[in-house]
Amino acid sequence: MDCIFCKIASGEIKGSFVGENDWFVAFDDINPVAPTHVLVIPREHVKSLEELTAFDDEVLKSLFDLVDEIVRSKGIKDSGFRLIVNQGRDSGQEVEHLHFHILGGRKLGRLG
């Protein structure tokens, strides 16, 4: 498989993780759209949200625990942040490996 996120998660491509646990790793986006722009990805290749829902509650809890750890460490928990998933080409998803964007550090515009 030639998935860049799988290579980052496995360490094949060196990166600096800003957070990690048994199921997920997080790193700063290389093309940030906000002062804080972190990507959180599953360690194993998961293509879609539908695939993620097949995991048990422990895995899903670990995702939100990691998000909480990151927003605290980045200093954006109290001021606010946005957690975004782009699903499919029409949403702008560029890498077919499920990933979550954490955006914050400034006032974000309204959606819609």
Active-site annotation holds for 99: yes
- The mean pLDDT of 72-94, rounded to a whole number, is 93
Q: What is the pLDDT of residue 22?
A: 95
Which residue is catalytic, options 37, 45, 97, 99? 99
| Rounded Cα gap, residues 71 and 65, in angstroms | 10
Calculate what percentage of the chain has a pLDDT beyond 90. 76
Beta bridge partners of 6: none
The token pair that represents 94 in the structure block: 């560029």
* pLDDT for residue 88 is more than 90: no
Radius of gyration of the chain measured on its C-alpha atoms: 14
